[in-house]
Amino acid sequence: MARLVTGGDRHAKWERRYDPAHIQTITTAEKPIYSANAAVKFTDLYELELAVKQVLNSQGVSVADVANYLNFGREVWKCDQTHDGETLKQEAAVLLAKWVARGLGMSVLEAIRNDVFHIDAPA
């Protein structure tokens, strides 16, 4: 029969996991990987923002609205990291509706979705 894990067992595991020396050992060993991953993501994010700004320039968007369109682009980018296919299309449609409700232009948002992310409207 399997032994049940007690509250004391769980607390001891928690204490080990959050021991500063243990955390430092893991962080030191994994930092090069974390740093390389962050560098790639930051580069991707920079390129995304540049592409969104190019779409905004071609659409004649006011400078006052650029930050909101960039936020939309970042949200779609985040979804693009975790979803694909029809799910990604649906998530992008939800975000599009959200930002239209906040006053952004549908045609500009669709241009960002299509031209930057190459995501079609959901079926």
Q: Where are the domains of the chain?
A: 8-116
Single pTM value for the model: 0.79
Residue range 74-106, pLDDT digits in tens = 999 999 999 999 999 999 999 999 999 999 999
Q: How far apart are CA 45 and CA 15, in angstroms?
A: 37
**In the prediction, which pLDDT does 1 show?**
73
CA distance 72 to 112: 9
> pLDDT tens digits for 23-76?
999 999 999 999 999 999 999 999 999 999 999 999 999 999 999 999 999 999
CB 53, CB 66: distance < 8 Å: yes
CATH architecture of 8-116: Up-down Bundle (1.20)
Q: Which residue has the tokens 């959901």?
A: 122
- Each residue of 105-115: pLDDT tens digit? 999 999 999 99
Cα three-residue angle 100-101-102, rounded to 5 degrees: 85
User: Measured on CA atoms in the order 25, 30, 31, 34, is the torsion positive or negative?
Assistant: negative
